[in-house]
Structure 1
Amino acid sequence: MATLIITTVIGGRRERHRWARDALTDAFVAFLEASWRHSDKAAQAASAGADAEQLLAEYREMRSQLTRMRLLATDGVVDAGQSLLRQQRQVHDVPAGPDRDAALAAASSARRGVIAAAKKEMGLL
């Protein structure tokens, strides 16, 4: 009977940890995918005319996923995510041209910071 109780408790903890890790992984992936889509659309908008609504939709998706990350991740990951979100907003706010190119480069650097923080969080570094 004691073995059954211990097994149930340990199994339940493992399942909760597995669920949290999977949910966090999903949030990381969705956050980064929205960031890449936002940057790609902003870069294309430089030559094809900006569609601010599409850019804003990707930015909103990033904010939504960052909220999930806040619930599941450590402060280091959240800080990296907030930094990237701010950089993506800068991409959104500056006009096409050299300023946008610089903002896209800064967003790319911040994205690498999120990836590093996510890998560390998941024990992959």
Structure 2
Amino acid sequence: MGDPSQWAAWAAAVTSMATLVVTTVVGGRREQRTWARDALTDAFVGFLEASWAHSDAMKALSGDQANPGERAEEHYAEMRSRLTRLRLLASAQVLEAGQELLRRQRAVQEAPPGAGREQALEDAARARRRVVAAAKREMGL
């Protein structure tokens, strides 16, 4: 083992192994961050899309129709599902904004047709903008 070429081979092998370990660890962390960011983006987009679809379904009701209808209920259920994903991935500030939007969307469903529903829709739109702002902060945008 005293031959300089053997020492060089050992040094190259150790260096190669260290490089492999560092690359694997750093790459794994980067991949995990990318996955988390993508999952968070999908949850935000799904939550907001369901919110807009819910508001659209409620706007589409005839002026005197009080029952929110099956489509609005489906969109509300989708919001709840997406909020559960946000609970796993996002900060407390995002969750507070999301829960407030969910409450505002429920208020839209429960509001009487006419001016009451219009006001509830405006309140939901403001809450939606707060979710968008919280999402941007969460994602560093």
TM class by shorter chain equals: over 0.9
Q: Does 1:26 align with 2:38?
A: no
Q: Is 1:11 the equivalent of 2:11?
A: no
Conservation of the 8 A alpha-carbon contact between 1:24 and 1:73: yes
- Which of 1 and 2 has greater Rg? 2
Match of 2:119 in 1: 102
Aligned-pair distance for 1:46? 3.9
Give the root-mean-square deviation of aligned CA atoms.
1.2
The normalised TM-score by structure 1 is 0.95
> Quick one: distance in 2 between partners of 1:46 and 1:123?
41
Note the C-alpha offset of 1:95.
Answer: 1.7
Unaligned 5+ runs, structure 2: 1-16
TM-score, normalisation: structure 2 = 0.84
Q: Indicate conservation of the 8 Å contact 2:47/2:83, yes or no.
A: yes
Residues matched between the structures, number: 124
Which is bigger in relative contact order (C-alpha 8 A, separation at least 6)? Answer: 1
Partners of 1:100 and 1:26 in 2: CA distance = 29
Q: What corresponds to 1:47 in structure 2? A: 63
User: 1:102 Cα shift?
Assistant: 0.5
1:30-58 Cα distance to aligned partner (Å, 9 max, x none)? 10000001001111114384552211110
Give unmatched runs, 5+ long, in structure 1.
none
Distance in structure 2 (CA, Å) of the matches to 1:46 and 1:32: 24
Q: Contact conserved, 1:46 with 1:97, CA < 8 A, in 2?
A: no
